[in-house]
């Protein structure tokens, strides 16, 4: 993920989580967070 995108998201107060080496891995992890933490 380009650092400029990460910084843009952080500048709006969000927490950035980078996980996995591909979009499918990141998606699976994000859905796990939703199930476990209600994000």
State phi, psi for 35 to the nearest 5 degrees. -65, -45
Task: Give the whole-angstrom CA distance, residue 27 versus residue 11.
Answer: 23
- Is it the case that residue 39 has pLDDT exceeding 90? no
- Is it the case that residue 32 has pLDDT exceeding 90? yes
Q: What is the pTM of this model?
A: 0.71
- Transcribe 1-39 into DSSP letters: --HHHHHHHHTTTPPP---SSSHHHHHHHHHHHHHHH--
Residue 1's pLDDT band (boundaries 50, 70, 90)? confident
Rg of the Cα atoms in the chain? 11
30, 23 Cβ separation under 8 angstroms: no
- Is it the case that residue 20 has pLDDT exceeding 90? yes
């Amino acid at each position: 993920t380009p650092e400029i995108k990460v910084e843009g998201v952080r500048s709006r107060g969000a927490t950035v989580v980078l996980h996995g080496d591909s979009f499918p891995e990141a998606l699976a992890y994000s859905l796990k967070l939703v199930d476990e933490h209600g994000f």
